Structure 1
Amino acid sequence: MASREDWCADKVSKLLQEDLRIPALNEIKEHLSTIPQNEVSSTIRNLDLPLVFDCLNDSNTEQVDLACEVLSLCMNNLNLGESTSKYGVSLERALNHPYPTVKLMALSEIERNIREEEALTDICKRSSLLTSIVRCIGDEDISVGKKACDITVVIGLSNIGLSQFTSNDVLTVLHEIMTISEVIRLRVYEVVVNISKESENNFVTLVSTGLVSLMLEELNNADVLLRMNVVELLTQLGLSMHGFVYLDQNGILDKLFALVEDEDDPITVQLCEPGILKFFGHMAHWKPIELISKYPKLFDRLFANIESGDLIIVGVSLDTLGVIGLSSEGKTALSSTGNKITYAIKTIVKLLTSYPTEIRIRALNCLENLLRVNDPKIDTMQIARRWFELFGDDPMQLIIRYAKNPFSETKLAGLGMLQAIAEQQWGQEYIKNTPGLVEFLLDRGVESIKECKEAKYEVVKALASSSIFDQSTASKFQAFVAEGPFYVHAVTEVAFERND
């Protein structure tokens, strides 16, 4: 049997001969797939990988695909940073190859390497390699473009990477590819947002490049779908405090509100309203009272949408109301609308049975958020109790109906509401005074789904520290918690001898 060195020399010789390249690549692929893992790295280092890269320079797709497979197999067995250090030029050429499979091979290897800080720094110092990665954002192949976006974000989140991303060389490439199409512009904006939202320093740096301003200008674009996607990106940016402040100070909230109110352009309203409602919901997370005083009509629209015939709008409106009503400030802001929030809650409860399952679950999740109190302020708990009592003459029955539902997703939503009130003293009183509810909570036998076991456990855990219950019940709750969510009672079988 030939030694490793002789075997590799034979394959190198064959790779130099055009008519033997495909058989040689097949032999390499098969060999590397069958030998022990500890021998693979040594074998690879005896192969001349630049010759395998050279096999990519051919119009024969079989050869190109084989070369990609072999290169991926080889480089995956190299140390992090080794392939980008030794074969950076070859990888760069691969990024400019006409075939998407070749670009994906190179991008995947680069993505693997940037997990290591030294390799990431090395790539950032290679200006032409970095610009080739960025240029791939503009590729017509979606997989190539997405992979390039992911890599660019990781690079941009590092200090040296952010500096290089905002260099003239990279910005020139970005502006070039942004002229290709609106789809490519959106990819660039997505990269900008994903880097910006992570820190104020990142955001300030990217604002200075003018890319953020270009994104905001797209809100004036005639293409409604483009505007809709930009609204979605702005929603992500606004989740950070620095992003919210910037958007507020630059009049973006006013512009988005105007879009929803534009009665002369119903198509834009229909397509953009879900995204804009989400946007305002997340903005209200930061300053709910300020937003509700500045945009009362938007909240009126939110309440009215609950009765809409458009289920997309209903779902988004329920989600948005839930996001706003989760915080104490949000509850205070919604409570200030008086009869409007009262009517909205009563409407949700009334329509629960007529909603399709998916919308019903979102409605229950919305109600859970309205009931949940994350900080024990008396005013907030009073608001939650007042809203709970809008559920009907016997509000507990509504919660129990869904907490005992046979379908797990609906049951989880019901148990979520139960947990929300179990964390408040008034809710504990309701639970205590509801016949059969304590027994249901302590009965492990009725739950078979892991998530439902965990949800019920969280309810009992909240009740276990309450002073509302008698000593016997409190002890049962505490024992339940000590046993954990998945405890199974042992069943003892006694065998009796039978006399025949």
Structure 2
Amino acid sequence: MNENWFCEQISNLNVQENRLTALSEIRIRLYEISETSDVQLETLITNRLLNSPEFIECLNCKNEATEQCELTADILSICMSHLSLEQSTLPTILERTLTNPRSSIKTIVFNTILKQLERQRNKKKYVQISTELLIHILNGLNEDDSKVGLPAIGILTIVLEQHINDGCMKNKLLDMLTSNEIVKCRVYELAVNLAKQSASMLYQVEFLLDRALSELDNDDVLLQVNILEILAALAEQNHGLLYLENRQVFEIISRRVENVDQNPIDQLLIPGIMKFFGKTALVQPQKIIVDYSHMMQCLFESILSENVSILPAAFDTFANLTQTKKGKQLLDKYYPALIKETFEAMSSYLRNLSTDLKNRAFNTLEMVFSTESSNQTDIEDLFQKWFKYLAGEESMQFLMDYCRNPFPDIKVACLSFIKSVCFHKWGLVALKNTAGFVEFLLDRKIEFDKEAKYKKFELISLLADTDVFDMQINLQLRTYVNEGPYFVQSILDIATEGN
């Protein structure tokens, strides 16, 4: 097999009746070449295919030509894996695929480029991409299909740092901000990704970040919510947080919450604003919990309001605020009464909300009671106090009732929460002292859902590694673990036990 054979098959692509056969043969031979590791032949064939009008014509197949579309996509994917980003001819080779009207073709090219860049970055090897190729990738931000837009953001996040000061790049990015909201948000997300890399990089993309901040005065509430979510990632880095503080972003947003009655439309912004403050609280709990009392009051009011449209965002924000030990301590110090009301409300919600929101509430509780490290003995009393707020001394019995729920997703969510509680010694003791709970967990005959079985197995594995149970119970727990999550007792064994 040689280059001449491929040339003959490429020529066959001109004849409609021969096209599928030729494409199928080309795909098979390309796989065979890949296995022989003949790099020179791989490069020759790849260049020949991607430059041939016949193959490019096949890439332009209509949706009804499903088999042709699949074959050409596979061939393109193989060819892309043989290309090197350092090839000087790469922009020319890829030009026809990057301007192809089918978004699925651009998706293959972009994803392959992104994977190669990520591999090079992991090896700490820098790859220079030509301006011509960068322009094509920037154009990917304008695509309607997110399968093109997202890898374009990923590629540009890696390579645009060296080109961000080029006049043509700046102008192109600014031009995109006159486009629709999807494109705007992609440009802003790219700017935040770059800004997170370093303080100097943030300075270079301030012209985009400042434009993003100006959008917060826009009448488009959905756009503002999306921009808030994008900007929240900036607070993960100290230099990003400093930028947001210097631009008084927290104060501006907090005032909008404070004056929401004067402009009812701002009510629609509340979930997005809470997410913004909640994500910031993951890295800066003191700043949010202590300095922005209006925001905290808004959060607690949202949780206690029973407004189901805002509860998911409120649950997520509360979980974020409690992700660090510092966050938990500050909440308990500054808002003890509201914290108590919150857990009592959660207990009520678990009884009365829809299934989806019950699961969301359990997921929130799981995050609240999860520990960031084993060294949290100084806040164990706080954890135990919060747990009792759910249902008093009978909190574990209260949860056991949900473990018996016929809906597997609620049962799984509850078991996950109980598992997070059982990482605490007091939680293990509470479970041990709840009549019938261990027996319920060990009973395999009452569980039919596969995911629930495995979640139960995870919890029992945790219990088996503790020292709170007596020898007999501990033996039963270890036997259960040794048998595995899906063990089924044979009929003969059950009959023998009955006798």
Q: Contact between 1:28 and 1:70, CA under 8 Å: does it hold in 2?
A: no
Q: Contact between 1:399 and 1:417, CA under 8 Å: does it hold in 2?
A: no
Q: Contact between 2:387 and 2:395, CA under 8 Å: does it hold in 1?
A: yes
The residue that corresponds to 1:32 in the other structure is 26
Q: Distance in 2 between matches of 1:30 and 1:146?
A: 26
Alpha-carbon distance change, 396 to 55 in structure 1, aligned in 2, over 3 angstroms: closer
- Corresponding letter in the other structure for 2:275: K
The residue that corresponds to 1:291 in the other structure is 288
**Following superposition of structure 1 onto structure 2, how do residues 385-464 of structure 1 map, counting pairs within 5 Å?**
385-393=384-392, 394-464=394-464
C-alpha distance after superposition, 1:370-414 (max 9, x if no partner): 444444544421112212222335222211111222212111222
TM-score where L is the length of structure 2: 0.81
Q: Contact between 2:80 and 2:112, CA under 8 Å: does it hold in 1?
A: no
Alpha-carbon distance change, 391 to 217 in structure 1, aligned in 2, over 3 angstroms: same
SS for the counterpart of 1:312 is: coil
**Following superposition of structure 1 onto structure 2, how do residues 253-272 of structure 1 map, counting pairs within 5 Å?**
253-261=250-258, 262-270=260-268, 272=269
Shifted more, 70-79 versus 460-469: the winner is 70-79
> Percent same amino acid at aligned positions?
25
Q: Contact between 1:113 and 1:120, CA under 8 Å: does it hold in 2?
A: no
Q: Contact between 2:346 and 2:361, CA under 8 Å: does it hold in 1?
A: yes
SS for the counterpart of 1:80 is: helix
Q: Distance in 2 between matches of 1:276 and 1:422?
A: 33
- Corresponding letter in the other structure for 2:346: I
* 2:185 equivalent to 1:209: no
- Corresponding letter in the other structure for 1:91: L
Q: Which residue of 311, 320, 326 corresponds with 1:323? A: 320
How far the C-alpha of 1:150 sits from its partner, in A, is 1.3
Q: Contact between 1:232 and 1:279, CA under 8 Å: does it hold in 2?
A: yes
The residue that corresponds to 1:346 in the other structure is 344
Alpha-carbon distance change, 300 to 177 in structure 1, aligned in 2, over 3 angstroms: closer
Q: Distance in 1 between matches of 2:3 and 2:200?
A: 55
The residue that corresponds to 1:88 in the other structure is 91
Alpha-carbon distance change, 240 to 414 in structure 1, aligned in 2, over 3 angstroms: farther
C-alpha distance after superposition, 1:457-483 (max 9, x if no partner): 333333334333223223333444455
Q: Which runs of 5+ in 2 are unaligned?
A: 36-40
The residue that corresponds to 1:134 in the other structure is 138
C-alpha distance after superposition, 1:426-454 (max 9, x if no partner): 22222222111121222333333343233
How far the C-alpha of 1:89 sits from its partner, in A, is 0.4
- Corresponding letter in the other structure for 1:279: F
- Corresponding letter in the other structure for 1:216: L
Q: Distance in 1 between matches of 2:438 and 2:105?
A: 62
How far the C-alpha of 1:290 sits from its partner, in A, is 3.6
The residue that corresponds to 1:117 in the other structure is 120
The residue that corresponds to 2:331 in the other structure is 334
Q: Distance in 2 between matches of 1:291 and 1:122?
A: 38
Q: Distance in 2 between matches of 1:240 and 1:303?
A: 27
Shifted more, 283-292 versus 366-375: the winner is 366-375
Alpha-carbon distance change, 461 to 107 in structure 1, aligned in 2, over 3 angstroms: closer
How far the C-alpha of 1:97 sits from its partner, in A, is 5.2
The count of residues paired between Structure 1 and Structure 2 equals 481
Q: Distance in 2 between matches of 1:31 and 1:276?
A: 56
Q: Distance in 1 between matches of 2:329 and 2:68?
A: 63
How far the C-alpha of 1:56 sits from its partner, in A, is 4.9
Alpha-carbon distance change, 50 to 323 in structure 1, aligned in 2, over 3 angstroms: closer
Q: Distance in 1 between matches of 2:329 and 2:410?
A: 28
**Following superposition of structure 1 onto structure 2, how do residues 210-289 of structure 1 map, counting pairs within 5 Å?**
210=206, 211-240=208-237, 242-261=239-258, 262-270=260-268, 272-289=269-286
Root mean square deviation, CA, Å: 3.9
The residue that corresponds to 2:157 in the other structure is 156
Q: Contact between 2:402 and 2:414, CA under 8 Å: does it hold in 1?
A: yes
Q: Distance in 1 between matches of 2:297 and 2:476?
A: 47
Q: Contact between 1:402 and 1:411, CA under 8 Å: does it hold in 2?
A: yes
C-alpha distance after superposition, 1:84-138 (max 9, x if no partner): 6355303124434566566456545545654553999897332111122112312
C-alpha distance after superposition, 1:168-224 (max 9, x if no partner): 442232122222333321111122234444xx43x6414323222222222122322
The residue that corresponds to 1:361 in the other structure is 359
The residue that corresponds to 1:78 in the other structure is 79
TM-score where L is the length of structure 1: 0.81
Q: Contact between 2:194 and 2:205, CA under 8 Å: does it hold in 1?
A: no
Shifted more, 130-139 versus 22-31: the winner is 22-31
Q: Distance in 2 between matches of 1:316 and 1:285?
A: 15
Q: Distance in 2 between matches of 1:79 and 1:56?
A: 14
Q: Distance in 2 between matches of 1:495 and 1:345?
A: 47
Shifted more, 390-399 versus 458-467: the winner is 458-467
C-alpha distance after superposition, 1:9-49 (max 9, x if no partner): 5455567xxxx465565553243356684168969956943
Alpha-carbon distance change, 470 to 129 in structure 1, aligned in 2, over 3 angstroms: same
